[in-house]
């Protein structure tokens, strides 16, 4: 979509309290902008393997010296406050150096949007991108009641943050409904789904791996390791599945933490350590190869008020890489995929999970039908092509079309 008419190059600052190289959503924005000739500065947490570096043409990554090893509610709060001031000073310095066209802040936390206070005062538009809705996330993560005082504080900071931003992007219709119900004007809100980068998740690149002879039947889960994702369910299923599938294997991929160690202990207690493999987190562009070598994508999330509306990007990844899917029956998934595309089971019901896995294993025709239907439903409803165009239109509107990202 490069423009034939000469336009002023856009300069965008992205702030994300993650490792940029592992955040597919932020990378997708940046790479799309860079392809149009924009210059992007990314502020993010440090990566032990990298220092400040050019991620690709026109993208410069700046890191702050913090990590995200939060174990308690106090850790979350203090860690966020510490990071806030580091981002604030770094962003302010960079703005006086570059005079950004737009500042795009990614939650969590929402109040990171105030790191753009100086650019906002000086007239630069600010976008808040709500990847996850914090009140529901906090309740789900820490198991507290929705009327807990800390949840009220989080709702208040969410309201202030969305008021401060010129525009708000969120990741799904469920989050949109929650935010509108809490008073955010719908006209200020844009939904851009967390769809995978098809430059990475392109099954045509991995045909040889997909067609290779398999020595085992592999279930795979790449993503966050936390109790809300119900990863004990496939491990508990392993003894029964092993009696029915001689070569069954489970891969759990992602950042490892205390919950990972609990899962490892569970696997030891059940005598299935030889069937459960814990793979440390890999860059997003390495995930497709692992998916291509697997046989079944699983999403055993525990249903609660957060998980019921949070879009699981990994399910999109399974669809793009043509894996059959077994997933918890959640409102968000039922709104996106029919029963002809995903084999659903009820939240935390072990016997149903085992039965769904066996259906895939014993019925290759059913697996093919599910993969084909999921592919069709994904391509009809969810596309980065549309999200990219909507994002560029938003930027053109905020900057008065000085940069003409859209024709």
Asked whether residue 279 falls in the same domain as residue 289, the answer is yes
In this model, does residue 68 exceed pLDDT 70?
no
DSSP readout, 161-183? HHHHSSEEEESSHHHHHHHHHTT
Which residue would you say has higher pLDDT here, 381 or 318?
Answer: 318
Which residue would you say has higher pLDDT here, 304 or 77?
Answer: 304
Is there a contact between 302 and 329 (Cβ–Cβ < 8 Å)?
A: no
User: Would 241 be classed as within a structural domain?
Assistant: yes
The predicted-structure confidence for 158-188, as pLDDT tens digits, reads as follows: 999 999 999 999 988 889 999 999 999 999 9
User: Would 240 be classed as within a structural domain?
Assistant: yes
Mean pLDDT of 271-294: 94
pLDDT of residue 140: 85
- The structure's pTM equals 0.76
Asked whether residue 325 falls in the same domain as residue 216, the answer is yes
d(CA 339, CA 332) in angstroms, rounded, equals 13
The SS3 assignment for 217 reads: strand
Band (385; pLDDT cuts 50, 70, 90):
confident
User: Would 4 be classed as within a structural domain?
Assistant: no
In this model, does residue 322 exceed pLDDT 80?
yes
Asked whether residue 90 falls in the same domain as residue 176, the answer is yes
Asked whether residue 144 falls in the same domain as residue 282, the answer is no
Chain mean pLDDT for the chain: 91
Asked whether residue 329 falls in the same domain as residue 393, the answer is no
Asked whether residue 394 falls in the same domain as residue 301, the answer is no
d(CA 290, CA 81) in angstroms, rounded, equals 36
pLDDT of residue 404: 65
pLDDT of residue 4: 46
Band (6; pLDDT cuts 50, 70, 90):
low
Contacts of 375 (CB under 8 A, 6+ apart): 319, 320, 322
DSSP readout, 102-157? EEEEEPSSGGGGGGGHHHHHTT--EEEEESS-HHHHHHHHHT--TTSHHHHHHHHH
- Ranges 140-149, 287-296, 398-407: which has the least confidence: 398-407
Residues listed for the chain = 407
The predicted-structure confidence for 302-312, as pLDDT tens digits, reads as follows: 999 889 988 88
Contacts of 182 (CB under 8 A, 6+ apart): 155, 158, 159
Q: Which structure tokens are listed for 374?
A: 């999921």
pLDDT of residue 69: 64
pLDDT of residue 15: 97
User: Would 339 be classed as within a structural domain?
Assistant: yes
pLDDT of residue 362: 97
Asked whether residue 69 falls in the same domain as residue 27, the answer is yes
User: Would 321 be classed as within a structural domain?
Assistant: yes
C-alpha distances in Å from residue 372, one per residue of 199, 321, 355: 20, 11, 21
The SS3 assignment for 349 reads: coil
Helix, strand counts (H, E) of the chain: 15, 14
Asked whether residue 336 falls in the same domain as residue 391, the answer is no
In this model, does residue 55 exceed pLDDT 90?
no
User: Would 3 be classed as within a structural domain?
Assistant: no
Which residue would you say has higher pLDDT here, 267 or 1?
Answer: 267
398 CA to centre of own chain: 25
d(CA 352, CA 264) in angstroms, rounded, equals 23
Q: The domain spanning residue 110 has which CATH number?
A: 3.40.50.2000
Which residue would you say has higher pLDDT here, 173 or 343?
Answer: 343
Asked whether residue 41 falls in the same domain as residue 124, the answer is yes
Asked whether residue 153 falls in the same domain as residue 267, the answer is no
DSSP readout, 291-321? HHT-SEEEE-PPPSTTTTTS--HHHHHHHHT
Band (80; pLDDT cuts 50, 70, 90):
confident
Asked whether residue 86 falls in the same domain as residue 209, the answer is no
d(CA 287, CA 291) in angstroms, rounded, equals 6
| Number of domains the chain contains | 2
Q: Which structure tokens are listed for 272?
A: 């299935």
**CA angle at 321 for the pair 318 and 325, rounded to the nearest 5°:** 30
Contacts of 326 (CB under 8 A, 6+ apart): 296, 297, 298, 299, 300, 342, 343, 344, 345, 353, 356, 357, 360
Instruction: Give the number of other CB atoms < 10 A from CB of residue 165.
Output: 25
User: Would 407 be classed as within a structural domain?
Assistant: no
Domain that holds residue 304: 203-381
pLDDT of residue 52: 57
User: Would 5 be classed as within a structural domain?
Assistant: no
Nearest to 58 by CA among 11, 23, 25: 11
In this model, does residue 156 exceed pLDDT 90?
yes
pLDDT of residue 167: 98
Asked whether residue 225 falls in the same domain as residue 107, the answer is no
In this model, does residue 210 exceed pLDDT 90?
no
- Ranges 103-112, 221-230, 376-385: which has the least confidence: 376-385
């Amino acid at each position: 979509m490069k423009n034939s008419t000469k336009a002023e190059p856009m300069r965008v600052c992205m702030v994300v309290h993650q490792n940029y190289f592992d955040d597919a959503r932020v990378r997708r924005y940046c790479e799309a902008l860079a392809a149009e000739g924009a210059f992007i500065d990314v502020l993010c947490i440090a990566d032990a393997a990298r220092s400040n570096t050019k991620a690709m043409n026109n993208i410069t990554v700046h890191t702050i010296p913090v990590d995200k090893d939060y174990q308690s509610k106090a850790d979350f709060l203090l860690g966020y406050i510490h990071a806030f001031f580091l981002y604030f000073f770094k962003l302010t310095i960079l703005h006086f150096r570059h005079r950004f066209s737009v500042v795009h802040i990614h939650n969590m936390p929402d109040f990171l949007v105030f790191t753009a206070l100086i650019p906002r005062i000086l007239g630069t538009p600010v976008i808040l991108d709500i990847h996850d809705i914090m009140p529901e996330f906090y309740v789900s993560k820490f198991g507290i009641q929705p009327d807990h005082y800390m949840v009220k504080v989080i709702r208040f900071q969410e309201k202030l943050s969305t008021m401060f931003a010129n525009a708000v992007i969120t990741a799904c219709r469920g989050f949109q409904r929650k935010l509108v119900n809490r008073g955010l004007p719908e006209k200020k809100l844009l939904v851009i789904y967390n769809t995978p980068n098809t430059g990475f998740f392109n099954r045509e690149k991995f045909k040889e791996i997909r067609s290779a002879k398999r020595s085992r039947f592999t279930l795979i889960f790449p993503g966050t390791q936390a109790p809300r994702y119900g990863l004990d369910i496939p491990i508990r299923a392993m003894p029964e599945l092993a009696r029915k599938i001689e070569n069954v294997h489970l891969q759990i991929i992602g950042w490892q933490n205390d919950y990972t160690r609990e899962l490892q202990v569970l696997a030891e207690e059940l005598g299935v350590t030889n069937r459960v493999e814990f793979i440390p987190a890999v860059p997003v562009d390495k995930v497709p190869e692992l998916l291509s070598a697997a046989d079944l994508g699983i999403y055993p999330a525990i249903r609660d008020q957060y998980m019921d509306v949070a879009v699981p990007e990994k399910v999109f990844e399974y669809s793009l890489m043509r894996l059959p899917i077994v997933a918890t029956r959640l409102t968000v998934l039922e709104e996106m995929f029919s029963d002809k595309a995903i084999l659903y089971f009820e939240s935390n019901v072990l016997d149903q999970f085992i039965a769904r896995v066996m259906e895939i294993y014993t019925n290759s025709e059913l697996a093919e039908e599910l993969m084909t239907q999921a592919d069709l439903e994904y391509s009809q409803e969810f596309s980065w092509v549309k999200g990219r165009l909507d994002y560029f239109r938003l930027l053109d509107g905020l900057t008065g079309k000085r940069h003409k990202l859209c024709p």
